[in-house]
Structure 1
């Protein structure tokens, strides 16, 4: 049977929104606890994993956590366009109100992207007098997940994703509350919240982080596709407020996302880094000098150029870093380049050429938060198309991923250099080599996954990987010494990293080779043997 990946969604692919909303009000499934991943609690009401019960318990747990941390200011609330986000916001506001916690919601009753919440928190707390009551935030989004899903995450006063200590406590307390029949939840029905101009404040501040004058003067044809997400009205205001030659390519919002093309697994998924999900956007690449996409909460970016199509996220991160660190005079000369350890080593080579310190951390944007706050890390990026960077003067912009500024940066790069990001990446490959990068999965039992998560670099006995001497065996990130939950093995021209999946009986093998696709295939094959040997398979 021929795959439908990259083809338009059909009626049979669409979620029944009425069923989804009815299921939200049903009791939580006993076997579906609150589980916080790197981006909060996610699940579907159709599976009994994202219900009113869950959200009320999580919100009550957040109230108790923030009180224990001495956080007494308002909570900035953002919600995306997923169908479950609206009822979850109502639940959240009712619990906050009953606990006497002030909540700020969009002044126009609209959707709020993740970066706008992060920006609002930073902006509010930056303006406080010494000893003032700091604010924090809640973002109701499953990001790029399918339309049937909901998501709920907490951002502390630093504005970025909560760390594992916070999320572990919140999830544990929420599950205790659910086990007690939610009797510990305080709740007031039919409440209202204070309005906050998320969109206006965010858009007006963009001039502090980007050279919008260069974009405006360039005459470039720009297109932005929100992919039916929360950034739709932001892009409209950006275009009018700054007088940019920018068209919102698809302004439609539909909780079934019927206008999407199907992802690799024939599911509707709003992933701007996926060639299949972005197929209809890429088809219009010749109409624009720069064409971009965002996911439902706009924390991810996709960059499309007429001469290169949809850019691999690793490729664009390398170009963005090379450009920013040669066009931001207000940044500290000591500010580092942050990358996750499964991002391309092209970034390592670019950093070395710039004479900049590379700060390599485990998977998860939360690791970049301290450096972005104090300016010691000027750019933080993930291989999954998430990144943020400092303002022009070196101040913190957002401490969560911001797909909007990464999309606008592509236009700035094109305007200032006269070259597309795709062309600039080709120049980098001429200078540093052309790496092949891929991720594959390998079968693993729950016991094997548990062992993998605790492996030490010294457990790797191999000396050679795909014909090259192994020069490093890592189980902790070089940048901050934090455990990576797996291992990374490095040679002069290649590397692989193995990490257990949190949802499936597989482990993920990320690998890259500067010696081409054939050598990459060797690396991947030998990586499985090396890891299986370390696991005792």
Structure 2
């Protein structure tokens, strides 16, 4: 725990934005260094210009690779291009536009080069058959980071086969000194008929009443606090407030590339993580001023719910609440629930109580795309505070995480049940028990992350965990896909190991159905297993 955890970021740790942008244009990756090559993790390629892992060359190469992929697969519709408010997103957005325009791709970018939430790009793709998209974002990562994500024809994050293809082609361009990458000056690109400004906000905001009971929220006059956290949806909450006549105050709805208003995360870094009680300390301090409050990460695909009753809700707790509420208030009969295998088992209990089956997947929202489109599940959710669900008419809303509708759902729950989501979860605990869940992040080298990603059951020598016999050692999820790590279960607990796809850490997820002490024993023994592997 860093001394600055939960405190407003001190000036000395604020990012030098000029240096960041300068390095974006001046540094070229060394392709013999694995950390400087294009690497698509769970949610696209991420890196920093300071480390020569997110620079103009990377974005040019990746965008050209996307163009090549579209040609190879005969994708000729519009490409919707969005970006968040990280400092590196603006130059990367420009680079992508220059390459797309030079290749005569029909590309739509936000009016006045404005910012666009990730779920809004997904929503736009789904409402324009034959289109795809690019989102320039590293999600909640620190201000020095940049990210690039490709969303396919189904509106969701591209699957591993597609991202591997794009990654490999992009690295070929880097290794061949960018030969074959088309590029045109921005001034000339903007004159092209194939490059168009697009109003992303109006159709998305107008459509919200088809997925959320906006009238119930408006009629209730509940007092809402919305923290835009300086992210890509900072103008969206104002549009939603005006359109639906909401009693809502909005905070941090201006762009600050240093994110100096943020409270430091537990490690002392600035990280726009709306699921972290340290990063969300500012909004939590105002919880008594609002009936319900919420925040979003920088690209608005994650949600953070702050209640009067319990402060910031654990993401697993809110997923359980949302699933139970939607099961009881929507006509989702014969539709099931999607969850990642590192999400709380409280979800399984809630599903059983509502006669729903659970589709358990590896980490990554891409696993929920097809089940949502096919109507197999009405809800797909990740333990890291990302989820989406179907419209009232059972049709797909977004196939990427949508922090806006999950936040607004918390207001609908309060408006219709008169209980905030914290009290709602307390009632679920009374009914189903109280599983205790935690995640630990620990530093890991590239080699250590690779080892964890490729674990087999034979690598585990232990036969008990926290005094209980190990019942299962899983390396694949219930949908048959590889976990990219490992999960071990016992009668009253479980843990999972997996490397981060975006940061130099690995993650230990654990849950106990007995006590906090039992959970800590699971965590301690898991750490010993990892130390042995390393």
Q: State the partner residue of 1:140.
A: 136
State the distance in 2 between where 1:57 and 1:33 align: 11
Match for residue 311 of structure 1 among 310, 313, 323: 313
Per-residue CA deviation, residues 68-120 of structure 1 (Å, 9 max, x unaligned), is 11111110010111111111111111111111101101134321000000000
State the distance in 2 between where 1:382 and 1:116 align: 19
**SS of equivalent to 2:86:** coil
**Does the CA contact (< 8 Å) of 2:43 and 2:501 recur in 1?**
no
Per-residue CA deviation, residues 182-239 of structure 1 (Å, 9 max, x unaligned), is 1211112121231221000110110111111111111100111010001110000000
Structure 1 residue 105 corresponds to structure 2 residue 109 = yes
**SS of equivalent to 1:42:** strand
State the distance in 1 between where 2:449 and 2:146 align: 27
Q: 1:500 to 1:111 in 2, by over 3 A?
A: closer
**Does the CA contact (< 8 Å) of 1:223 and 1:247 recur in 2?**
yes
1:118-267 alignment to 2 at 5 Å? 118-125=122-129, 134-189=130-185, 190=187, 191-192=189-190, 193-267=195-269
State the distance in 2 between where 1:450 and 1:369 align: 26
Per-residue CA deviation, residues 404-455 of structure 1 (Å, 9 max, x unaligned), is 0000000001111110100011111111111211123567776665444333
Per-residue CA deviation, residues 149-177 of structure 1 (Å, 9 max, x unaligned), is 11111001110101111111111111110
**Does the CA contact (< 8 Å) of 2:39 and 2:45 recur in 1?**
yes
Q: 1:55 to 1:3 in 2, by over 3 A?
A: same
**SS of equivalent to 2:135:** strand
**SS of equivalent to 1:326:** helix
State the distance in 1 between where 2:28 and 2:477 align: 38
State the distance in 1 between where 2:105 and 2:92 align: 17
Which range moved further: 311-320 or 450-459? 450-459
1:117-516 alignment to 2 at 5 Å? 117-125=121-129, 134-189=130-185, 190=187, 191-192=189-190, 193-329=195-331, 331=332, 333-441=333-441, 449-457=449-457, 460=460, 462-478=462-478, 480-502=479-501, 507-516=506-515
Q: State the partner residue of 1:129.
A: none
State the distance in 2 between where 1:451 and 1:256 align: 35
Shift of 1:464: 3.2
Which range moved further: 490-499 or 225-234? 490-499
Task: Provide TM-score, normalisation by structure 1.
Answer: 0.94
Q: State the partner residue of 1:130.
A: none
Match for residue 81 of structure 2 among 77, 80, 83: 77
Structure 1 residue 21 corresponds to structure 2 residue 17 = no
Shift of 1:519: 0.6
Q: 1:503 to 1:295 in 2, by over 3 A?
A: closer
State the distance in 2 between where 1:503 and 1:399 align: 21
**Structure 1: any 5+ residue segments left out of the alignment?**
126-133
Q: State the partner residue of 2:521.
A: 522
Which range moved further: 449-458 or 367-376? 449-458
State the distance in 1 between where 2:444 and 2:206 align: 49
**Does the CA contact (< 8 Å) of 1:434 and 1:516 recur in 2?**
no
Which range moved further: 269-278 or 461-470? 461-470
Which range moved further: 486-495 or 344-353? 486-495
Q: State the partner residue of 2:5.
A: 5
**Does the CA contact (< 8 Å) of 2:82 and 2:115 recur in 1?**
yes
Which range moved further: 107-116 or 234-243? 107-116
Q: State the partner residue of 2:96.
A: 92
**Does the CA contact (< 8 Å) of 2:131 and 2:153 recur in 1?**
yes
**Does the CA contact (< 8 Å) of 1:344 and 1:512 recur in 2?**
yes
Q: 1:16 to 1:64 in 2, by over 3 A?
A: same
Q: 1:56 to 1:19 in 2, by over 3 A?
A: same
RMSD between aligned residues: 1.8
**Does the CA contact (< 8 Å) of 1:361 and 1:482 recur in 2?**
yes
**Does the CA contact (< 8 Å) of 2:339 and 2:381 recur in 1?**
yes
Which range moved further: 12-21 or 92-101? 12-21
**Does the CA contact (< 8 Å) of 1:28 and 1:50 recur in 2?**
no
State the distance in 2 between where 1:262 and 1:176 align: 38
Per-residue CA deviation, residues 379-419 of structure 1 (Å, 9 max, x unaligned), is 01111101000111110000000000000000001111110
**Does the CA contact (< 8 Å) of 1:460 and 1:531 recur in 2?**
no
**SS of equivalent to 1:161:** coil
The count of aligned residue pairs is: 524
Q: 1:210 to 1:437 in 2, by over 3 A?
A: same
**SS of equivalent to 2:128:** helix
State the distance in 2 between where 1:458 and 1:452 align: 13
State the distance in 2 between where 1:426 and 1:19 align: 48
State the distance in 1 between where 2:2 and 2:169 align: 47
Shift of 1:457: 3.6
**SS of equivalent to 1:489:** strand
Shift of 1:337: 0.6
**Structure 2: any 5+ residue segments left out of the alignment?**
none
Q: 1:442 to 1:3 in 2, by over 3 A?
A: closer
State the distance in 2 between where 1:265 and 1:459 align: 31
Shift of 1:468: 2.9
State the distance in 1 between where 2:53 and 2:463 align: 45
Shift of 1:145: 1.0
